[in-house]
A and B are shown apart, each in its own frame.
Chain A
Amino acid sequence: MKFGVIVFPGSNCDHDAYHVISKHVGQPVDFIWHRETDLSSYDAVIIPGGFSYGDYLRAGALARFSPVMNSVKKFADTGRLVLGICNGFQILCEAGLLPGALIRNRDLHFICEHVFVRVETSDSPFTNELQRGAVLRIPIAHAEGNYVCDDQTLAELQREDRIVFRYCEQDGTVTDAANPNGSRDNIAGICNRERNVLGLMPHPERACEDLLGSSEGRDIFRSLAATLAAAA
Chain B
Amino acid sequence: MKAKVYVNLKAGVLDPQGKAIQHSVELLGFSGISDVRQGKYFEIALDDSVDTQRARESVEKMAREVLSNPIIEDYRVEIEA
B71 touches A149 (CB 8 A): yes
Cross-interface CB contact of A57 among B14, B67, B72, cutoff 8 Å: B67
Whether the pair A100, B71 counts as a contact (CB closer than 8 A) is: yes
User: How many pairs, one residue from A and one from B, have CB atoms within 8 Å of each other in the complex?
Assistant: 34
Is B58's beta carbon under 8 Å from chain A?
Answer: no
**Known: A103-B72, A108-B20, A148-B72. Is A61-B14 also a contact (CB below 8 A)?**
no
Evaluate contact between B66 and A61: CB separation under 8 angstroms: yes
Does B81 interact with chain A (Cβ within 8 Å)?
no
Roughly how many angstroms separate A172 CA and B64 CA in the complex, as a whole number? 40
Given contacts A148-B13, A182-B14, contact A58 B69 (CB under 8 A): yes
Q: How far is the CB of A152 from chain B (nearest CB, A)?
A: 12
CB contacts (< 8 Å) of B67 on chain A: these are 57
Most B CB within 10 A of own CB, among A93, A94, A104, A108? A104
Complex Cα distance A94/B67, Å? Answer: 11
Q: SS class of chain A's interface: helix, strand, loop or mixed?
A: loop
Q: Mark A131-174, 1 if CB is under 8 A from B, else 0.
A: 00000000000000010111000000000000000000000000
Contact B72 A108 (CB under 8 A): no
Tell me how far the C-beta of B65 lies from the nearest C-beta in chain A, rounded to whole angstroms: 10
Whole-angstrom distance from the CB of B51 to the nearest CB of chain A? 26
> Roughly how many angstroms separate A53 CA and B20 CA in the complex, as a whole number?
26
Q: Is the CB of B16 within 8 A of A108?
A: yes
CA distance A57 to B69 in the complex (A): 10
Contact with A along B21-57 (1 / 0, CB 8 A): 0000000000000000000000000000000000000
B interface residues with partner A (beta carbon < 8 Å): 13-17, 20, 66-67, 69, 71-72
13 extra A-B contacts, CB within 8 A, seeds A57-B67, A104-B17, A148-B13: A61-B69, A100-B71, A101-B71, A104-B15, A106-B16, A108-B16, A108-B20, A146-B14, A148-B14, A148-B71, A148-B72, A150-B71, A182-B14
